[in-house]
Structure formats: C-alpha cells, structure tokens
C-alpha cells in the first residue's frame, strides 16, 4: 500500500469514528427527539411496556382542538377534500389537516372554542353528500366511526330540572353515546329545548322518544327530534344519497376545484354575527341550505 493510500484510509477511519461518536452522544442534527430505553415490567411471566400517564395526558391535550371528518358515502382524494375544508373553515383558523385511515380526515383548529363552533353549527355537504364531523377523542375506533354518526337531537319542552349534565347524559345514553351540548343549552340562554350531540348507530328506525324514571319514581316519556338523519339508497343500500343520486354504475373522477376571486370573497364572508351565511351554489360552498339553525 502506498503512502497516499495509507493517509486516505486513516482519514476515512478517523472521520467514521468521529461520526459514530456524534451519533452516540446524540449530537446529530436530526436527533432532536431522542428516544431512550425504558425498562419493561414483568407480570405472570410476560413482558409489558409501561406507558407514561403524564405524557399521554399532555399529548391528548395537544389534539383536543381537532375534529374527525368523513364524507358519508364517498372517499374523495386528500387534495380535493383538503381544498374543500379550507374553503369552508379556513377563515376560522386551521392549524393542521391530515388524512387518517378508512377515509377519515383530521382537522385541527387553533383552539377548543373554534372546534366547538364548528360542531355546534351542524352539518355541511361535500358534493351533495353529508360530511360527518365529530370531536377527536382518545378512544377512536375506525370500525365504530364508520358504523356510527354524530347527530344533533332536540329534547323539546324538557323540564329545566333535567338540564344538568348528569341528567342529560342519562337521557341520551338510552339512544346513543353523548358527546356534548351546544352553547345555548350550556348557558341556559334558550329554554325551549335542550340540544345535545349524540353518537348513534346508523339505523333505519331511530327512536322517536326516550323513557325515563323521574325523581318521584314515575315513568316519563320525552320526545326526540332529529335535526338531520342519514338517508339510505335502495339501489346500493349505502347511506348518504338517494336512488336518483346513486353512482354505483357510474365512474366518478374527483377534480380539485380552482377558486375564483369571487368565490374567495364569498368564503371570507361565511361567518357573520355568529351564524353560518350561505351564499352562491350549495355544491360550491359546501353548506347545507336545509340545515336547521339553532335559535337564540
């Protein structure tokens, strides 16, 4: 081996050793989140990982302002649906949009108040199909999300003594999983009816009333009014569209919409005085013109 070859070999080995030392000490530029070994625990001869409860709590709080969206009866490409989300909710302030599994999309807002505003204003439509929107939770199950939908229900003329969180939860738990109440119910500023968001299984015959035992031991019945119910297609047995709108036999190609200056000006004025304003064609804005607006 020549003198030049020895020098080149020594330089290469020295450089490699230096890089390895940097890797060991965690000084590489991409090691901003360094992981470390955590000793597992053993129970009954099996090995288990011990999760840090405080870190889970902190990470959960980071996603509390997010909602999960799904177009009922369709699975549009991410680029197309992301453009739709920005047109409808962009003026509210969106921190992140990310695609999940099984056609689910996560939209994270800047704060919890914006998330509640989106949920309280009810249903929106994408290509004449309802967009299911529910808050992010730690117990998300993709299978359950596909089989259930969040529905706003109204409990007309419900006695004010039953407007507590425990009573409302007990009442709506007979028909689904309670999620939240709207602002007017929470503040008691509208007492004609209590408005509750409930996660329910998709069924042909949703219950029209709730039976409960009151504080005197009497059996009472409370009517249930749904602001929206998913329609079922008799052709393909799918939900979210009628027979006339069924596309089972047709090929559908999604195209990302290019906004004009006029549409941008319209989208900037979607929210006025705390209510959703509908302008232009329903298909272009994505707002349901038949939505039942909350009173008050």
- Split the chain (296 residues) into runs of 10 and give each run's mean pLDDT: 51 61 52 79 91 90 92 88 94 93 89 93 86 85 68 94 96 93 93 93 84 94 91 59 56 59 54 39 38 44
Q: Domain ranges for the chain, please list them.
A: 58-140, 149-226
| pLDDT at 201 (0 to 100) | 84
pLDDT at 185: 95
Determine the Cα–Cα distance for residues 167 and 246; give it in Å rounded to an integer: 41
pLDDT of 34: 82
What is the pLDDT at residue 141? 62
Output the pLDDT for position 128: 82
Q: What is the DSSP string of 241-294?
A: S-GGG--TTS-----PPPPPHHHHHHHTTSEETTEEPP-S-HHHH-B-TT--PP
pTM: 0.61
**Got the DSSP string for 102-156?**
TT-EEEEESSHHHHHHHHHT--EEETTEEEEEEE--TT--HHHHHHEEEEEEEEE
Q: Give the pLDDT of residue 102.
A: 76
Q: What is the pLDDT of residue 281?
A: 38
pLDDT score recorded for residue 192: 92
Q: Which fold has domain 58-140?
A: Alpha-Beta Plaits (3.30.70)
Q: Return the percent helix, strand and coil in the chain, to nearest 5.
A: 30, 25, 45
């Amino acid at each position: 081996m020549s003198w030049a070859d020895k020098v080149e070999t020594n330089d290469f080995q020295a450089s490699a050793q230096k890089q390895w030392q940097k890797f060991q000490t965690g000084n590489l530029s991409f090691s901003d989140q360094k992981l470390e070994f955590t000793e597992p625990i053993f129970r009954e001869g099996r090995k288990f990982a011990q999760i840090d409860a405080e870190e889970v709590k902190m990470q959960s709080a980071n996603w509390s302002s997010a909602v999960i969206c799904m177009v009922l009866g369709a699975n549009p490409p991410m680029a197309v649906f992301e453009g739709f989300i920005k047109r409808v909710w962009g003026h509210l302030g969106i921190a992140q949009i990310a695609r999940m599994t099984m056609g689910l999309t996560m939209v994270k807002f800047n704060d919890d108040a914006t998330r509640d505003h989106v949920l309280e204003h009810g249903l929106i439509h994408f290509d004449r199909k309802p967009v299911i929107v529910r808050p992010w939770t730690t117990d998300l199950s993709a299978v359950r999300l596909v089989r259930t939908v969040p529905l706003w229900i109204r409990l007309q003329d419900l006695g004010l003594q039953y407007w507590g969180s425990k009573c409302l939860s007990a009442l709506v738990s007979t028909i689904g999983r309670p999620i939240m109440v709207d602002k007017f119910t929470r503040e008691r500023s509208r007492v004609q009816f209590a408005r509750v968001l409930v996660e329910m299984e998709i069924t042909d015959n949703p219950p029209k009333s709730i039976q409960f035992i009151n504080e005197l031991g009497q059996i009472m019945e409370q009517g249930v009014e749904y602001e929206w119910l998913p329609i079922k297609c008799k052709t393909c047995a799918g939900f979210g569209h009628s027979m006339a709108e069924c596309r089972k036999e047709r090929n559908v190609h999604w195209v990302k919409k290019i906004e004009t200056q006029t549409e941008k000006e319209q989208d900037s004025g979607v929210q006025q005085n705390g209510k959703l304003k509908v302008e232009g064609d329903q298909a272009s804005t994505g707002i349901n013109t038949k939505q039942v607006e909350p009173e008050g």
